[in-house]
Amino acid sequence: MTDFKDKIDLNKLPQHIAIIMDGNGRWAKKRGKLRIFGHESGVKAVRETTEAAAELGVKFITLFAFSTENWDRPKFEIDALMQLLVNTISKETKTLNDNNIKLVAIGDLKSLPKDCYQNLNKSIENTAKNTRMTLVLALSYSSKWEIMEAVKRIAKKVKEEQILPENITQKDFSDYLPTSILGIPDPELLIRTSGEYRISNFLLWQIAYAELYFTPTLWPDFRKENLYEAIFNYQTRERRFGKTSEQIKQNSNEQI
Segment near ligand IPE (CB under 6 A); pick from 6-14, 24-32, 107-115, 157-165: 24-32
Asked if 70 is an active-site residue, the reply is yes
* Residue in 15, 70, 180, 233 binding ligand IPE, rule: CB under 6 A: 70
Report the alpha-carbon distance of residue 201 to residue 56 in Å, rounded. 28
Residue 160 phi, psi dihedral angles, 5° rounding: -80, 5
- Quick note: the x/- pattern for ligand IPE over 103-142, rule CB under 6 A, is ----------------------------------------
Report the alpha-carbon distance of residue 105 to residue 1 in Å, rounded. 35
Total residues interacting with Mg ion, rule: CB under 5 A: 1
Please say which residue, 8 or 21, places its beta carbon nearer to ligand IPE: 21
Report the alpha-carbon distance of residue 227 to residue 53 in Å, rounded. 8
Please say which residue, 22 or 229, places its beta carbon nearer to Mg ion: 22
Which of 147, 165, 145 has the alpha carbon at shortest distance from 156?
Answer: 165
Q: Residue 60 in contact with residue 53, Cβ under 8 Å?
A: no
- Quick note: the x/- pattern for Mg ion over 59-88, rule CB under 5 A, is ------------------------------
- Minimum distance between the CB of residue 218 and ligand IPE, rounded to whole angstroms? 7
* Catalytic residue of the set 6, 70, 108, 221: 70
What is the DSSP annotation of 171-210? HHHHTTSHHHHTTPPPPSEEEE-TT-----SSSTTTTTTP
Told to check if 21 binds ligand IPE by CB under 6 A, we report: yes
Told to check if 25 binds ligand IPE by CB under 6 A, we report: yes
Segment near ligand IPE (CB under 6 A); pick from 22-30, 104-112, 121-129, 169-177: 22-30
- Residues 73-92 binding ligand IPE (CB under 6 A) are 81
Told to check if 157 binds ligand IPE by CB under 6 A, we report: no
The 3-state DSSP class for residue 239 equals: coil
Please say which residue, 19 or 52, places its beta carbon nearer to ligand IPE: 19
Neighbours of 2 (CB within 10 A): 10
Which amino acid type is present at position 99? N
Residues 6+ apart with CB under 8 A from 228: 3, 4, 5, 7, 8, 52
Told to check if 3 binds ligand IPE by CB under 6 A, we report: no
Segment near Mg ion (CB under 5 A); pick from 18-26, 34-42, 123-131, 245-253: 18-26
First-to-last C-alpha distance (Å) of the chain? 33
- Residues 185-224 binding ligand IPE (CB under 6 A) are 194, 196, 198, 200, 219
Report the alpha-carbon distance of residue 66 to residue 48 in Å, rounded. 19
Report the alpha-carbon distance of residue 256 to residue 253 in Å, rounded. 5
- Which residue numbers are catalytic? 22, 70
Judged by the rule CB under 6 A, the positions of this chain that interact with ligand IPE are 20-26, 64-67, 70, 81, 194, 196, 198, 200, 219
Judged by the rule CB under 5 A, the positions of this chain that interact with Mg ion are 22
